[in-house]
Chains A and B, each alone.
Chain A
């Protein structure tokens, strides 16, 4: 399994297929029985703090303002509060959070909180961002909005993303490439290369091509299930 710089790769699988375990191994929170994690050629197996990491829960600290939450990775690195707050200014604009600096997470909508969590993840400043079902707690409409927004913002900030999801549509919309996990014990059953952004029509989600990909993935997942 590999991820190119600037790529969005989705890891698709049913619940319990070990997606999150794999994530935690990459993040260095768990140790693997075998295999190694290489980041830009360097072995980072078992080391935490090497990649940015975001979960389904936004995990914003309720007692810190949005600015306080977003600057957290900078403060943890030892930066001064003032410098950190000044630094996040332009990003708050990009992430559509301008004006919420002094508000507490409880006052924000689910989508905004997730954007703030994403900005915090991004500001941790690692080359690779691990997103574990980042949008699955949101309602359908908000989720779609977040997908479009994410694709737009990702072009501006150039972030390599590994996305864990059980949502086939989400994987197809966001990813450049999809790894499908299936079987028991689960393994990578397929690697699907999707057309580039330029090649995709604006209504990609409604095209036959999209449905074809979906059919293919459902077939792979069903095969995996039949062997259980």
Chain B
């Protein structure tokens, strides 16, 4: 019983800091310590959020669709790469160093290129998300595969298990922790990449909305869209956590 109560208990400290921060911010603007045209108050932000909500929502669906599609393809590509790098040592030695180096190329730098090549639609955004998300997944999954207990692999060998069976029964499930660690990184990367690609060029999406309100000097709307993007990332993160909880039932036992 004691343990249950601890699990449900909410940590109020960050909420308190958040509320105090928002109140301070409101105070700074309300008492004209910072001019309103430079910094909208929290109340202004909420009003902008409310009045522009249909438009925000419409753009959000576009960004969300790009994020989810790009993320899914990126994850599959990452897992696939990890599997073949684990299977073929020469591929690991040939591809892995290049992969690591390729990650030093900044996302922002290739976004304009992709727009030029692939146009203003969803495709360049999805491609950019794939490029940024497959890497953490591939690296973490490979680490997970390689962390398999050699004795366990030996045992599987004595039971006559073939490679694919070892992958399915041992390597994939035991790499789930690594997978979810990489997924948390990939989710934030994906949202950021979508917005950045939309900045560079596009017709719809939260990034496009952002550049528009920026050009109009509508700071309150800027803040509103930033809040929305944050909420979107948080919700996706919670989804990942929920998925992990659901897919790793044995963890619940270990905690008891």
Q: How far is the CA of A77 from the CA of B161 in the complex (A)?
A: 8
Kindly report which residue of chain A lies nearest to residue B156, judged by CB atoms.
Answer: A76
Tally A residues with Cβ within 8 Å of B.
26
B151 at the interface (CB under 8 A from A): yes
Q: From DSSP, what is the main secondary structure of chain B's interface residues?
A: helix
Given the known interface contacts A55-B151, A59-B149, the answer about A29 and B250 at a Cβ–Cβ threshold of 8 Å is no
Q: What is the bound-complex CA distance between A77 and B149, given in angstroms?
A: 22
Decide: B158 and A63 in contact? CB cutoff 8 A: no
Which residues in A have their C-beta under 8 angstroms from that of B170? Answer: 61
B169 neighbours in A (Cβ, 8 Å): 61, 72, 75-76
Contact of A48 with B by CB under 8 A: yes
Contact indicator per residue, chain A 10-36, by CB within 8 Å of chain B (1) or not (0): 000000000000001001110000000
What DSSP secondary structure best describes chain A's contact surface?
A: loop
Q: Which residues of A contact B161 (CB under 8 A)?
A: 76
Query: What chain B residues lie within 8 Å of A28 (beta carbons)?
Result: 158
A85 to B165, CA, bound (A): 18
Q: Does A217 contact B (CB under 8 A)?
A: no
Is A184 an interface residue when CB atoms closer than 8 A count as contact? no
Given A61-B170, A76-B165, A49 contacting B159 (CB threshold 8 A): yes
Chain A residues, Cβ within 8 Å of B157: 29, 48-49
A73 interface residue per 8 A CB criterion: yes
Tell me the nearest residue of chain A to B165, going by C-beta: A76
Check: A107 CB closer than 8 A to any chain B CB.
yes
B residues less than 8 Å from A61 (CB atoms):
152, 169-170, 173-174
Q: Decide yes or no whether B242 CB sits under 8 A from chain A.
A: no
Residue contact A59 to B151, C-beta cutoff 8 Å: yes
Nearest A residue (CB) for B166: A76
* CB interface residues, B 232-256, toward A, < 8 Å: 248-250, 253-254, 256
Q: Which residue of B149, B151, B253 contacts A103 across the interface (Cβ within 8 Å)?
A: B253
Residues of A in contact with B (beta carbons under 8 Å apart):
24, 27-29, 48-49, 51-53, 55, 57, 59, 61-64, 72-73, 75-77, 103-104, 106-107, 124
For this complex, 22 residue pairs linking A to B, each with C-beta atoms less than 8 Å apart, are A29-B157, A48-B158, A49-B158, A52-B158, A53-B155, A53-B158, A53-B159, A59-B149, A59-B151, A61-B170, A61-B174, A62-B254, A63-B174, A63-B250, A64-B173, A64-B250, A72-B169, A76-B159, A76-B169, A103-B253, A104-B249, A124-B158
